[in-house]
A and B are shown apart, each in its own frame.
Chain A
Amino acid sequence: QKEVEQDPGPLSVPEGAIVSLNCTYSNSAFQYFMWYRQYSRKGPELLMYTYSSGNKEDGRFTAQVDKSSKYISLFIRDSQPSDSATYLCATIQGAQKLVFGQGTRLTINP
Chain B
Amino acid sequence: GAVVSQHPSRVICKSGTSVKIECRSLDFQATTMFWYRQFPKQSLMLMATSNEGSKATYEQGVEKDKFLINHASLTLSTLTVTSAHPEDSSFYICSARTSRISTDTQYFGPGTRLTVL
Seen from chain A, the residues whose Cβ lies within 8 Å of a Cβ on chain B are: 6, 8, 32, 36, 41-46, 49, 51, 88, 92, 94-103, 105
Contact = CB atoms under 8 A, between A and B. Distances in A.
- Place the interface of chain B in its size category: 20 to 34
16 contacts: A32-B102, A41-B111, A42-B110, A43-B6, A43-B93, A43-B108, A43-B110, A43-B111, A46-B107, A51-B103, A92-B103, A94-B102, A97-B46, A97-B49, A98-B95, A100-B43
A95 B43 contact: no
Contacts of B34: 98
B50 to A, nearest CB: 11
Which has the most chain B C-beta neighbours within 10 Å: A44, A51, A103? Answer: A44
Contact of A88 (B43, B49, B97, B106): B43
Contacts, number: 56
A88 B111 contact: no
The 7 closest A-B pairs by CB, nearest first: A43-B108, A96-B102, A100-B43, A102-B43, A43-B110, A100-B44, A43-B111
B25 interface: no
